[in-house]
Structure 1
């Protein structure tokens, strides 16, 4: 059974599934709203104050074609739907059951809000700053914030106001900013306390400028992952990665250097890690490896269970507990692919196993 979190008016205490509580929801109100927009704005504001992002689920119209009911839900409501064959991004949706219903009442001449389901199947946000939906700006807010300032000037003002450590690199020919590095003050303190393990990943096409976005994550003594630093870079070249890692290294003045660095197989990034952190062990994420192989090799298999058979052979190889077990599993992989899928074997063997098999690790 999925844990349910219920918002109440007494300290927002959490009530589990099947438990009874006489507390009134923080969304309960006798207020009469003049329009559905006013009702929604009230619910959104109340939600932000209590760690919930409220979005419109759907509306309902009467016989005259006028909207007379609006359904609101948590932004984690519903399930992720995609027609893409390969899932390219994660989703925050958990099919959260939370629901509010706004309805127009002729007798009151306005809109009233009803709490339909006041429960969540996920933890509520502790801080709304940085939430992708909560940070969206209205047209009026954009005019207020950006008037007389460029986007970069606004960004640096925000970083300074929040106490971020940040730096940037300019193109010497055009004087345009190419790379940007920033670290939250809490991340700075955590990094200096737990510098031993770094996980570095780069995402693509996740921002309006289509720039590679470098995410650097650390691990605490209780095995919790923490965001250490973030960086936008102009290109995925060794020089760009080296600049980012050099800025990161400066944060560890008089501290222990990282002992382990986990990345995906990007030669430019690996080379930069070897230069800036030469003594750290370099490891590769098995999940990224599997996604790479799936992208380049799955189309070579016909419909049926051939791909599942390959995945079984590949898993035996990468999870081999001893050198002898590896040799046995590697032979099974070679024998199973050579006749019909020689190209697939050559790809995984040449690109992954020959040079990097000792670096595979689960992250």
Structure 2
């Protein structure tokens, strides 16, 4: 690097802490302020994939190979390659962008669902024509759902996609305790109205005599209210894992390591009791000990 004038951003220490402000100062020293890189992989130009390697990535990606396995394949063919997994992801993202040229995100999603033979539905706001929900289900999931409709587990995840939309995942359970995907949906808001529309589509996949006996959710009030409206005769429960996570979030800090370990053991034993009477009998001492 050549020496010369350059501008750096430094914090005004005391004022920055008090007022959260920054100021610019002219830095006359243009020398490096860090040690040189120990590994050539730190520089992207040294990790750049060749044209033939990029073609190979595209071919393997089209065959649904995972990025990690693609990287292993490249290093097997070229042991001198300095590429890392991030470079594979960058090439895949470039491929995806080229596939989406001229298409909106909704068009891309519909094309994907159609090509994979999903059955899907959308609901638009009549005033703005903006899509409110996208519900989709695979034909094999439809068959499984009609064969095992007794237990329904619904979970809503947030901020897991680039559009920050709530993603609804609906899961069923077979007679051998194996889980399978029933349906999925993107919703614009986590409100009762949106969840009601999703549950109506799920209910429409079944006959009246095939409605689920048990529904398990997290403690999402809007989702729970929607379940009460659409499946009024079904027993509803809160997921034990979500309960445990909530307890850990609010209680773990107030206990010692030994106290937390003892509580976890007592709680896990308590949850295994088979009848309400036995559960309540053992719950009371645990409650009194904590209070």
Same fold (TM over 0.5): yes
1:186 is aligned to 140
The answer to whether 1:307 aligns with 2:260 is: yes
The answer to whether 1:160 aligns with 2:114 is: yes
Q: CA 1:237–1:54 in 2, change beyond 3 Å: closer, same or farther?
A: closer
1:262 is aligned to 216
1:321 is aligned to 274
CA contact (8 A) 2:57 2:91 kept: no
2:248 is aligned to 294
CA distance in 2, matches of 1:296, 1:162: 43
Q: CA 1:331–1:136 in 2, change beyond 3 Å: closer, same or farther?
A: farther
Q: CA 1:323–1:267 in 2, change beyond 3 Å: closer, same or farther?
A: same
Q: CA 1:255–1:214 in 2, change beyond 3 Å: closer, same or farther?
A: same
Normalised by the length of structure 2, the TM-score is 0.69
SS state of the match for residue 248, structure 2? helix
2:101 is aligned to 146
1:102 is aligned to 78
1:53 is aligned to 66
2:179 is aligned to 225
CA distance in 2, matches of 1:277, 1:321: 25
1:210 is aligned to 164
SS state of the match for residue 160, structure 1? helix
Q: Which runs of 5+ in 2 are unaligned?
A: 1-47, 82-87
CA distance in 1, matches of 2:235, 2:91: 40
CA contact (8 A) 1:313 1:329 kept: no
1:73 is aligned to 72
Q: CA 1:182–1:297 in 2, change beyond 3 Å: closer, same or farther?
A: same
Shift of 1:49: 7.5
CA contact (8 A) 1:241 1:269 kept: yes
CA contact (8 A) 2:216 2:238 kept: yes
The answer to whether 1:331 aligns with 2:284 is: yes
Q: CA 1:293–1:280 in 2, change beyond 3 Å: closer, same or farther?
A: same
CA distance in 2, matches of 1:250, 1:134: 39
CA contact (8 A) 2:54 2:91 kept: no
The two structures, once aligned, show a CA RMSD in angstroms of 3.3
Bigger helix share: 2
Q: CA 1:143–1:246 in 2, change beyond 3 Å: closer, same or farther?
A: same
Matches within 5 A, 1:89-128: 100=76, 102-104=78-80
Q: How many residues align?
A: 238
SS state of the match for residue 258, structure 1? coil
Q: Which runs of 5+ in 1 are unaligned?
A: 1-34, 58-71, 75-98, 105-110, 112-132, 339-363
Normalised by the length of structure 1, the TM-score is 0.57
Q: CA 1:264–1:312 in 2, change beyond 3 Å: closer, same or farther?
A: same
CA contact (8 A) 1:44 1:53 kept: no
1:60 is aligned to none
CA contact (8 A) 1:261 1:283 kept: yes
Higher Cα Rg, which structure: 2
CA distance in 2, matches of 1:317, 1:295: 19
